[in-house]
Amino acid sequence: MEVIVIGAGIAGSVIARELAERGKKEVLVIEKRKHIGGNCYDTYDEHGILVHQYGPHIFHTSKERVQEYLSRFTEWYSFRHEVVARVGGQLIPVPFNLNTLHIVFPKEADQIEQMLIMEYGEGARVPILTLQKNENPLIRKVASYVYENIFLKYTMKQWGQTPKEIDPAVTARVPVVISRDNGYFSDKYQGMPKHGYTKMFEQMLDHENIKVDLGVDAREHLRLEKGKIYFDGKLFEGDVIYTGAIDEFFDYQYGALPYRSLEFSFEYFEQPDFQGHSVVNYTVDEDYTRITEFKHLTGQQSEGTTIVKEYPRSYEQGKGLLPYYAINNEKNADLYEKYRQHAKEAEHFYLLGRLAEYKYYNIDGMAERALQLADQLI
Ligand SMILES: Cc1cc2nc3c(=O)[nH]c(=O)nc-3n(C[C@H](O)[C@H](O)[C@H](O)COP(=O)(O)OP(=O)(O)OC[C@H]3O[C@@H](n4cnc5c(N)ncnc54)[C@H](O)[C@@H]3O)c2cc1C
């Protein structure tokens, strides 16, 4: 082996392919799950509906290099993602925009719309902090509606926080969009791999220089000692790219890095449609934060439909849930830094990915970072 890649998610798969294509003859990918794709993995459920096992993943990017790169391994089912929130029995577009305004404040909407356009210009994304400071009580009313009904309880559920614990800087940035466009993302490219993510990953890893070992935990084979890498007890002098959890790799010796987790509840209905939308956010009531109906994301035609409800949970290592979202604060950054310094002792050991870097990435950001690391290594 010339290179060992730990993890077959987007980070591991992109870098493995890239290094193989750029001349590395033997690239070994070790993946502890029984499948490739990491958290992007999708599969057909027992009713024949393509579902995302680790939560719904919608691809969106404005990065030309990433779009071009991934398009080598898949065609796209292209669609524009829109999200609605269920508030008081109504479905309203989010982020809050001019269409939402007309649903929520039908009587005053025309007047408020004119004021917003005059004040901030069409197309602007105005943080609610700015609206809260506006002298006009009608504009302030919009800001408090958004804070109460779209932001506050949703954020409390998502992060398990009390209102006091919510970072005011985050609240301040919640936008109102002065536009009639219900699009959730503004990226140039949006959609889903036409035949699913797993197929895209299969294509990516299908290269004569790549070998994939599934169901193997790298920690049973790999260790770092005094700045050297050992694989099955033998000194390994090639590059190792590690995309798993960094605290786990070092046996939590400095303490566990905190994460937020999710629990998913899948339900199947023998009816062609459940909610008429791909994603409905529950921003005020219910314990779950959103319901996703997969066929509206993938364009699949079928008589039945599968949905998934997402319940935010706190994460505790070894209790069955998975680490999903890094919790960014100074204390956790300091803890992560200890692990990073430790990993740096071995010259050819590279940390890549949301768990190894303790950082949230979208799929496109992750792919870009993997391509950049390949540039650096070759
Ligand atoms: C609920 C949720 C929804 C999301 N939705 C979107 C979205 O809509 N759009 C978007 O762009 N992004 C989305 N993301 C982000 C996306 O999931 C990440 O960008 C992506 O998964 C990061 O890829 P990765 O390769 O770093 O990690 P992962 O996908 O987690 O891959 C890491 C792999 O390493 C393996 N591994 C770990 N440790 C070991 C070990 N010791 N030995 C062997 N293998 C190991 C794991 O089993 C895993 O397969 C979402 C994230 C979450 C949590």
Strand partners, 27: 3, 210
Q: Which atom of ligand 1 is nearest to the CA of 36?
A: 49
- For the residues 18-36, what does the mean pLDDT come to? 97
Residue 7 Cβ contacting ligand 1 at under 6 Å: yes
27-to-11, 233, 355 alpha-carbon distances in Å: 14, 19, 21
**Alpha carbon nearest to ligand 1 atom 7, residue:** 57
- For the residues 133-152, what does the mean pLDDT come to? 96
Higher pLDDT, 169 or 232: 232
194-to-50, 69, 219 alpha-carbon distances in Å: 11, 15, 35
Residue 308 Cβ contacting ligand 1 at under 6 Å: no
Cis peptide before 168, with omega less than 30 degrees from 0?
no
* Lowest mean pLDDT segment, chosen from 91-100, 160-169, 357-366: 160-169
Sheet arrangement for strand 59-61: 59-61, 189-193, 76-78
Question: Do residues 351 and 340 make contact, with C-beta atoms less than 8 angstroms apart?
Answer: yes
Q: Is the pLDDT of residue 169 over 90?
A: no
Residue 353 Cβ contacting ligand 1 at under 6 Å: yes
Q: Is the dihedral of CA 280, 282, 286, 290 positive or negative?
A: positive
pLDDT in tens, 88-123: 999 999 999 999 999 999 999 999 999 999 999 999
Residue 40 Cβ contacting ligand 1 at under 6 Å: yes
Amino acid symbol at 255: G
Q: Is the pLDDT of residue 318 over 90?
A: no
Q: Where in the chain is the domain with CATH 3.40.50.720?
A: 3-76+191-258+325-377
pLDDT in tens, 51-94: 999 999 999 999 999 999 999 999 999 989 999 999 999 999 99
CA distance 318 to 332: 19
Integer-rounded Cα Rg, in Å, for the chain is: 23
**Alpha carbon nearest to ligand 1 atom 22, residue:** 354
Question: Do residues 69 and 368 make contact, with C-beta atoms less than 8 angstroms apart?
Answer: no
Q: How confident is the model at residue 235 (pLDDT cuts 50, 70, 90)?
A: very high
Please list, in sequence order, all residues whose beta carbon lies within 8 angstroms of the beta carbon of residue 291, skipping any fewer than 6 positions away.
Answer: 274, 275, 279, 280, 282, 307, 308, 309, 310
**Alpha carbon nearest to ligand 1 atom 50, residue:** 57
Q: Which fold has domain 3-76+191-258+325-377?
A: Rossmann fold (3.40.50)
Residue 370 Cβ contacting ligand 1 at under 6 Å: no
pTM: 0.96
Q: Which atom of ligand 1 is nearest to the CA of 58?
A: 8
Q: Is the pLDDT of residue 170 over 90?
A: no
> In the prediction, which pLDDT does 372 show?
98
Residue 362 Cβ contacting ligand 1 at under 6 Å: yes
Q: Which atom of ligand 1 is nearest to the CA of 217?
A: 42
Percent of the chain with pLDDT over 70: 100
Residue 358 Cβ contacting ligand 1 at under 6 Å: no
| Coil, helix or strand at residue 298 | helix
CA-closest candidate to residue 277, choices 295, 289, 304: 295
- For the residues 292-302, what does the mean pLDDT come to? 97
163-to-13, 133, 190, 290 alpha-carbon distances in Å: 40, 20, 34, 20
Q: How confident is the model at residue 168 (pLDDT cuts 50, 70, 90)?
A: confident
Residue 219 Cβ contacting ligand 1 at under 6 Å: yes
The whole-chain average pLDDT of the chain stands at 96
